[in-house]
Each structure stands twice: as C-alpha cells, then as structure tokens.
Chains A and B, each alone.
Chain A
C-alpha cells in the first residue's frame, strides 16, 4: 500500500456523542517526522480527535491507520500528554511515579518494572530538568513544572507518535520554550507529533503543518495556507479580527520551506 508510509492516515472519521457529531468526515494524512498543530475554536472536536487516535473514543464511522496498521496493533507506541485540567493533581503519585508510567506499556502485567525502566524514566526527567523534584507529589509543582512531568512521561514511553492536548495553555514562557525544545528534538529523531493548540499567534512559528477543525476539517496544510483571514473567519465566525494580518506577517521562513510536504519525499 502506498500510503502505509504515512504516520497517520485518517479516513472519513466521524465521532458523535449524540445527535450532533463531534467530528464529521475528517480525512487527512501526516507523514512521519512532522510537527502538526490542531487548531480550532472551543468545542470544535480537537480533544476528540486526539482521543480517537488514542483509541479511547470509538468512531461511529471511518478508519484510523497509524504507520499503516490498525490502531489496536500499535498500542503503546503512542505517547499522550493530557490537558492540564483533565488531571487529578491531588492524586497520590510523585513526579517519578508519573514518569515511570511511560514504561508501563513495555512491561507485561506479570513482570515488575526493571532497573532499565527506572533509568529511562530518570533520563526523561533529566531532559525536562525535573530531576530535583523527583519525589514531589505532582500537586506541589507549578503549572509549568506539571506540564514538564507529563512531557517526561511521554519521552520515557518513547513512542513514534506523540499526542499533546493543549500543552502550552497556562504555562510560563520558560516552560513554553522547554516544551518546544522537546518537541523539536523529538522531531529530529523522526517522531511524529500532534499538538492541540489554542494560540493562533504562535501557530505558524511552532508547527510544520496545521489542522483547522470545527467538527469538519476546514483546512490541512502548511501554516501559510491555513492562517488565511477568510478561512479563519469562517471557522471562528468573525471573532478574530486581531489575526487578520497574521498570515501576511508570517512569511514562511527558509527553514519552514524545507519542511513543506512537497519537498520531503514520503
């Protein structure tokens, strides 16, 4: 199959929680090594798309293929960073415990976590500079630190596909840098990353490609093509006058051009 080279193939994905579909007829393909942003207004199905890719939400119709395989054949190779609001921060787990969760997928139920697993979790914490907080309960951290712990979990898991739900919301500038650093490093190592993102002003700078969602797929492609005033105002219903000149301001940088889909041979 020709498209089995893609990291993600979504075809006609439709998900509903009642009469109104959360996602309707979504089709797109992502090549390996791309850093993709998912944008769209509140309640536009961004998290649902992530959850469908994770296999947590069952689609009513349509198919998802990851690396050319069915979703349940690649379980464990998808790392996930939840939205901050979706986590119970009072849960009795420490920073290290969370990082270790990244190793659960590689450990069968009858076996204990190995010393190697512990090392990998520690390395991941080192990478996001959270080692010194190893024994802290996760509620005793700042918002940015909390986000970094979950990044470490994703790193420790070492999957080929990384899904992040609003990692940049409510974090300080330093953490935003740190997360971006990790994302870019994982792109260099050939991993594919999907990020739910809400800040249009940084979307062009951060991502190779953008998915514009509002139940339906309104656009998929490089940021210059997606961040068009007409397209955005259609999705955001004219609430976005501020961003009207965004696309003209963000000329594709040379670095960006290198990563356009046409240039990389799939």
Chain B
C-alpha cells in the first residue's frame, strides 16, 4: 500500500476506525469500574443509571433550547445524563431511608419512573422538533455514529477512570472489602461511595453509545465476572476485566461487520460467550474443575467401610473382594483404595491388600467405634437385626469424645453384642495416665494416683498391679503385686484410680 492508498483507506474507513477507538476506550473503562460493581453487588444500580440517562438527555435538550435557545452538544448531554443518574441514585437512597421499601424495590421504582419521564417528554409532539434523540440508537446502541468530539470526551473519561482507580486503589479496595475498618482509619467511606457512583454513571453513559441502554450492564458486569472467576487478587482481576472487555468488543465488532447486524448485540453475545467458556473451564472456580475435584474426592464413609472390611477379614484381603462387597453409589472402591495407598494406610501387592501399621490403628479405631455403637444400640433395646445396620451408619460418627462417652456409659465393655472383642482404647492408653477402668485382664500397670478410694484399700503411688478378669460383668479385679492383695473395684472406683500401663 502506498501513502495515497493508505489515506484513501483511512477516509473510506473513518467510521470504523473511530468506532473501534471509541469502543476500546469504553470497554476498558467499563471493565475496570465493573470489577467494583461486581464486588459491591451494585449491578442493578448501573442499570438504573443507564435508564435514568434518557431523562437527562431529553432534559438537557429542552432546557438549553428553552432557556438559551441553542442546540445541545454532546458534552452538555453527557453532563445532563450524569446529573440524572446521580439524582436517581439519591432518590433511591432517599426512598430506602424514609420508608420500609427495600433497596431493590426502590431501584425498580425510580429507574423506570425516571426513564419513563424522559420517554414521555421525548415523545410529546410539540417538543420533538427541539429534541434530537435517536431513540432507537439510545436503546440499541450506535457506536458507528461516533464523532471526533465524542472520541476526545471518551479519552478524557478513560484517563479519569484510570487516575481514580490507580490513585485511590487502596481506598477503593478497603471500602469495598471492609467498610467498617475503612471508616475506623479515617477513609471517607461515603465520599468514596459517591465517587464510585459518579464513575459508574460516567462509564454507563459512555457505554450506552455502543450497546444501548438495555445491554450496557453487560459491558460492566460480564468482563468483570469473567475475570472474577479467574483471579484471586483485585489488581489482576481489574487488568483481566479490562482485557476481556477489549477482546469482547473487538471480536463482537468484527462479527457484526461480517454478519452485517448492529454491533451492540454481537459485542454482548461475544462477552457472554467468553464468560460461559470461563465458567466451564476456569482452573479453580470453573465447573469442570469443581466436578473433577468432587470426583477425586473419596468420601470418608467409603474409606472407613473399606478399612473396616479389611480388618474384619484378616490381614490380607483380595482387592476383588473389596471391590465386590464394599460400595457407595457413584464412587469406585478401586480409586478409594488408591487414595488409601497414597495416604499410607494400605499396601497393595499384586491382587492383595494389607493394612500398614498406621492403617491398623485407624481401622482399629473404626472397629472400636462400630462395636461400641452396636453395644450401645443393643442397650437401648433395639432389635438385633437392626443393630448392625444402624451401627454401620453411626460408626462414621467416630469423634473421639463421642466414642469415649459411649465407652464410659456402657462400663467399658469387652465384647460387642455378637461376642466380638471391642478393641481397647489404645489412644488413651498410649498417651500415658489413664483411669484403671480402661485396662483389661492381663494388663500390668503402675499406680500414678490412688485417689481416696485406692488409699483406703492400701495402695500407693508407684505400686504395680496386674489386672484380673471382670467379676460379675461390671467389677474390676486387680492384684497388687507388692502386697499380694486382690482388689475388687466398682466402675466409679476404677475410674478414680489413675495408672500408667506398662
């Protein structure tokens, strides 16, 4: 292309170039401010400002014509629109404050009311010669009709937004995140709120030029929401949001040139398209990531069932037996086993699975919980065939304190209703000083604190005892090695003697 051709190309495509520059300015400004709108949940407010604009535009035409007798230019119209937007925001605040009407309803009333007021005057026949509002353009957007003055105005607004967000970044961040603290360190929270509302009005008024009143909210919200799904720090979110706004606009604009329709809808369609892709594919907050996370998560219940199965059936179990007999709808026992191996609870060799020492402990704890629950359920009078089923559900309630409570209440039983041995309370026993009542036949222990009951029976700290069998079910017997005396203790007496197992 030589120079002349280039100039000709410029002339021929002046409209498109201006539209692209204008659109870039607007979408960047909207993307930046949109982040704060999303985080402060103010999107409805942006919608309200957009609609109120019509009244402002119409009013500036009429007032200028009636009072000064000249045609309004775009800067005056911008100011009028801004003014109307701020009045709407103030009115919404006023209605919320003086009445029981909540904010969402107040917004609904005021923005439609003021929009209608604008529409009312714009459509009165005798006024229509003064008013040069392109209602269709206003509603659907008219970026193609951008003038040079508009471009300058947009550039200035864009710079203004940049300046505000960069200079007051910390203030904006803190008032959005924690207004109470912001107030306590002297940040003028209300002034920052108004500043943000003013910025919102500015970008909304500009955004209407591209996509029109109805879609302008999308220009603010969609890129910001897309960025919100991707980034965990505000400044990154803002940069990404501006970028998504820009990409959305350019791709939408070229799609509209290719299909020959109005640019407004295609810009919003493209932005929404990017949002949907992000919603599905975002690495952390996306739906696919979420689904994968859920799928990889093996429920505790299944893990516990598998461990219970292994310890019940001896040291080594066929993998196929587990897969065949332990199941939970929607989850595979095989991936649960892999998870267990990764956590170091089981060891798989060939077709067999065995518990590691750590796995043994966990499994014993579970078995203890299960068998104590069975004993407890039986003691409440539940029929034997129900006991196992219910205990199977309740064994997953195996918080240590809960299990200790059951154990104590049942008098530290040795066997469950089916006669199977309940594993001893090894966690407490290993931790050192325990009640004598936790010990079983054959255990050796040293007295740490005989308590009043023990003292009257003649035992002292440092003596050795060998625990004997329980007599009539709920009495502990113990042989004092030093004196050769045999003790018979009730549950409460055995509870009061503190010992250390040897």
Q: Which residues of A contact B (CB under 8 A)?
A: 51, 54-56, 72, 75-76, 78, 80, 82, 86-88, 91-94, 97, 101, 104-105, 107, 109-110, 113, 137, 157
Contacts A82-B180, A88-B177; is A107 near B39 (CB within 8 Å)?
Answer: no
| Among B170, B176, B179, residue most surrounded by chain A Cβ atoms (within 10 Å) | B170
Residue of B nearest to A137 (CB): B232
Q: What are 16 sample pairs from A and B whose C-beta atoms fall under 8 A apart? A: A51-B180, A54-B181, A54-B184, A72-B186, A75-B186, A76-B185, A78-B184, A82-B181, A87-B178, A92-B231, A92-B232, A97-B233, A105-B185, A107-B170, A109-B167, A109-B171
Residue of A nearest to B179 (CB): A56
Which residues in A have their C-beta under 8 angstroms from that of B179?
56
Q: Closest approach, in angstroms, between the C-beta of B92 and any C-beta of chain A?
A: 19
Which residues in B have their C-beta under 8 angstroms from that of A72?
186
| Among B177, B231, B234, residue most surrounded by chain A Cβ atoms (within 10 Å) | B177
Check B232 against A56 for contact (C-beta < 8 Å): no
Which residues in A have their C-beta under 8 angstroms from that of B183?
54-56
Which residues in B have their C-beta under 8 angstroms from that of A92?
39, 228, 231-234, 236-237
Contact digits for B159-175, partner A, Cβ 8 Å, 1 yes 0 no? 00000000110110110
Report the bound CA distance from A137 to B236 in whole Å: 13
Q: Closest approach, in angstroms, between the C-beta of B169 and any C-beta of chain A?
A: 9
Report the bound CA distance from A145 to B185 in whole Å: 24
Q: Closest approach, in angstroms, between the C-beta of A124 and any C-beta of chain B?
A: 15
Ranked nearest first, the 10 interchain pairs of A and B with the lowest CB-CB distance are: A105-B185, A75-B186, A137-B232, A54-B184, A56-B183, A76-B185, A56-B180, A92-B234, A92-B237, A80-B181
Residue of A nearest to B228 (CB): A92
Contact digits for B258-285, partner A, Cβ 8 Å, 1 yes 0 no? 0000000000000000000000000000
Q: Closest approach, in angstroms, between the C-beta of B188 and any C-beta of chain A?
A: 11
Check A93 against B184 for contact (C-beta < 8 Å): no
Which residues in A have their C-beta under 8 angstroms from that of B186?
72, 75-76, 105
Which residues in B have their C-beta under 8 angstroms from that of A101?
173-174, 177-178, 181
Which residues in A have their C-beta under 8 angstroms from that of B39?
88, 91-92
Report the bound CA distance from A229 to B432 in whole Å: 39
Instruction: List residues 431-483 of chain B with CB under 8 A from any CB of chain A.
Output: none
Report the bound CA distance from A94 to B181 in whole Å: 17
Q: Closest approach, in angstroms, between the C-beta of B242 and any C-beta of chain A?
A: 15
Residue of A nearest to B180 (CB): A56
Residue of B nearest to A138 (CB): B232
A54-B181, A54-B183 given; name 10 further pairs at CB < 8 Å. Answer: A51-B180, A55-B184, A72-B186, A91-B234, A93-B233, A93-B234, A94-B233, A101-B174, A105-B185, A110-B167
Residue of B nearest to A73 (CB): B186
Which residues in A have their C-beta under 8 angstroms from that of B174?
101, 104
Which residues in A have their C-beta under 8 angstroms from that of B167?
109-110
Check A94 against B180 for contact (C-beta < 8 Å): no
Which residues in A have their C-beta under 8 angstroms from that of B170?
104, 107, 109, 113
Q: Closest approach, in angstroms, between the C-beta of B338 and any C-beta of chain A?
A: 25
Check A82 against B178 for contact (C-beta < 8 Å): yes
Check B178 against A94 for contact (C-beta < 8 Å): no
Contact digits for B80-105, partner A, Cβ 8 Å, 1 yes 0 no? 00000000000000000000000000
Which residues in B have their C-beta under 8 angstroms from that of A88?
39, 177
Check A109 against B185 for contact (C-beta < 8 Å): no
Which residues in A have their C-beta under 8 angstroms from that of B180?
51, 54, 56, 80, 82, 86
Q: Closest approach, in angstroms, between the C-beta of A34 and any C-beta of chain B?
A: 20
| Among B39, B167, B178, B187, residue most surrounded by chain A Cβ atoms (within 10 Å) | B178
Which residues in A have their C-beta under 8 angstroms from that of B187?
104
Report the bound CA distance from A55 to B233 in whole Å: 29
Q: Closest approach, in angstroms, between the C-beta of B103 and any C-beta of chain A?
A: 16
Which residues in A have their C-beta under 8 angstroms from that of B232?
92-94, 137
Instruction: List residues 234-259 of chain B with CB under 8 A from any CB of chain A.
Output: 234, 236-237
Q: Closest approach, in angstroms, between the C-beta of B369 and any C-beta of chain A?
A: 21
Which residues in B have their C-beta under 8 angstroms from that of A86?
180
Report the bound CA distance from A137 to B237 in whole Å: 13
Residue of B nearest to A110 (CB): B167
Report the bound CA distance from A72 to B179 in whole Å: 16
Report the bound CA distance from A51 to B180 in whole Å: 7
Q: Closest approach, in angstroms, between the C-beta of A147 and any C-beta of chain B?
A: 14
Which residues in B have their C-beta under 8 angstroms from that of A55?
183-184
Residue of A nearest to B189 (CB): A56
Which residues in B have their C-beta under 8 angstroms from that of A56?
179-180, 183-184
Report the bound CA distance from A110 to B228 in whole Å: 27
Report the bound CA distance from A216 to B168 in whole Å: 40
Q: Closest approach, in angstroms, between the C-beta of A140 and any C-beta of chain B?
A: 8
Contact digits for B219-235, partner A, Cβ 8 Å, 1 yes 0 no? 00000000010011110
Report the bound CA distance from A108 to B237 in whole Å: 24
Residue of A nearest to B238 (CB): A92
Check A91 against B184 for contact (C-beta < 8 Å): no
Contact digits for B174-206, partner A, Cβ 8 Å, 1 yes 0 no? 101111110111110000000000000000000
Q: Closest approach, in angstroms, between the C-beta of A134 and any C-beta of chain B?
A: 12
Which residues in A have their C-beta under 8 angstroms from that of B171?
109
Report the bound CA distance from A51 to B184 in whole Å: 9
Residue of B nearest to A106 (CB): B185
Residue of B nearest to A53 (CB): B184
Which residues in A have their C-beta under 8 angstroms from that of B233?
92-94, 97, 137
Which residues in B have their C-beta under 8 angstroms from that of A113?
170
Report the bound CA distance from A56 to B187 in whole Å: 11
Residue of B nearest to A153 (CB): B181
| Among B170, B181, B183, B184, residue most surrounded by chain A Cβ atoms (within 10 Å) | B184
Which residues in A have their C-beta under 8 angstroms from that of B228?
92
| Among A51, A91, A92, A107, residue most surrounded by chain B Cβ atoms (within 10 Å) | A92
Which residues in A have their C-beta under 8 angstroms from that of B231?
92
Q: Closest approach, in angstroms, between the C-beta of A14 and any C-beta of chain B?
A: 20
Which residues in A have their C-beta under 8 angstroms from that of B178?
82, 87, 101
Residue of B nearest to A136 (CB): B232
Report the bound CA distance from A143 to B316 in whole Å: 40
Report the bound CA distance from A113 to B174 in whole Å: 14
Report the bound CA distance from A180 to B128 in whole Å: 72
Check B168 against A93 for contact (C-beta < 8 Å): no
Report the bound CA distance from A118 to B231 in whole Å: 22
Report the bound CA distance from A56 to B168 in whole Å: 20
Report the bound CA distance from A88 to B232 in whole Å: 13
Which residues in B have their C-beta under 8 angstroms from that of A97?
173, 233-234
Contacts A92-B228, A92-B234, A137-B232; is A109 near B184 (CB within 8 Å)?
Answer: no
Q: Closest approach, in angstroms, between the C-beta of A102 and any C-beta of chain B?
A: 9
Which residues in B have their C-beta under 8 angstroms from that of A82?
178, 180-181
Report the bound CA distance from A54 to B174 in whole Å: 15
Check B181 against A109 for contact (C-beta < 8 Å): no
